[in-house]
Amino acid sequence: MAKFPWGDEAMSIPITFVINMITALLLGVLLAFTGPESAVGVAATTEELRPVAVVTCVFFVMWYIFLGNQVGVKFTQGLPADVSAAAKDIADRTVGNMLEQVIPFLTLMWLEAIFVNPRTATILGWIYVAARFLYPIAYGIYGVFTILVMFATMPNYTIISYWLLTVFFKCFFSVDLHAKINATSPWLMLLFLPACGLCSFIAFLLLAKPTTSLIIAGAKKEKGFDAEEGYGEIDEE
């Protein structure tokens, strides 16, 4: 019998890609139905930004819940050492991942709300917070990092990419991508959101590759390995 419902491996890149595309399609359906209503002209009003402020407050309540997970694990008595270590790792990684994403999330959500569409920023902001709350749950079910965590992260990468693109186009080109796409057909969002979902893969696997290779080459050189021959030691004779 397989260790997990999807097989014996905790993680799978193909399944991760499928989750990414499915969640992106669902977000596309959502935005196709909601439309670009409430798109801003020059900038959103204070009243229009109030719902985004509420999402921000709830996000920070969740932040302290995650910090509470760390405290709770630390002060739980009587746990076997290996169980305590595994639980601590999950609690720490939950906070760590949240910290890694907090700057793009909050910054882009507010930029989306101020310059593009506060209604869309609010809707996607709630989805982001809900998915983020699932992170420790998905991680904790099996006690190790598994494909379930992707359900908490993949939609959020898509949301971040969507905001990044729509804010950039609105502020640099004065083009509201959502409104422009919607004017042709709302259902084109089912193509646009999966494209946004691919942005994280492009950033991690392609855009980062040159500097990743440079980092690895430099580390090999510093540690005395031959960069051209893989991990063989450099002959100093």
User: For residue range 150-190, what is the model confidence (pLDDT) as tens digits?
Assistant: 999 999 999 999 999 999 999 999 999 999 999 999 999 99
Closest by Cα among 124, 116, 121 to 43: 116
For 104-123, how does the pLDDT look when each residue is reduced to its tens digit (9 = 90+)? 999 999 999 999 999 999 99
pLDDT at 234: 42
Q: What is the mean pLDDT of residues 58-64?
A: 97
Lowest-confidence segment of 12-16, 41-45, 62-66 by average pLDDT: 41-45
Q: Over the chain, what is the mean pLDDT?
A: 92
Q: Kindly indicate the confidence band of residue 232, based on its pLDDT and cuts at 50, 70 and 90.
A: very low
pLDDT at 233: 46
For 126-148, how does the pLDDT look when each residue is reduced to its tens digit (9 = 90+)? 999 999 999 999 999 999 999 99
pLDDT at 212: 95
This prediction's pTM: 0.88
Domains of the chain: 13-208 (1.20.120.550)
Cα dihedral 189→194→197→203 (10° resolution): -110
Predicted confidence (pLDDT) at residue 82 exceeds the cutoff of 70: yes
Cα 41 to Cα 124: distance, rounded to the nearest angstrom:
20
Token pair for 75:
């002060």
Lowest-confidence segment of 49-53, 217-221, 222-226 by average pLDDT: 222-226
Where does the chain have alpha helices with state H?
13-34, 46-74, 81-111, 118-140, 150-173, 177-184, 189-201, 209-223
Q: What is the mean pLDDT of residues 22-45?
A: 89
Q: What percent of the chain clears pLDDT 70, i.e. is strictly above it?
A: 94
pLDDT at 182: 95
Cα 94 to Cα 102: distance, rounded to the nearest angstrom:
12
Q: What SS3 state is found at 83?
A: helix
pLDDT at 67: 97
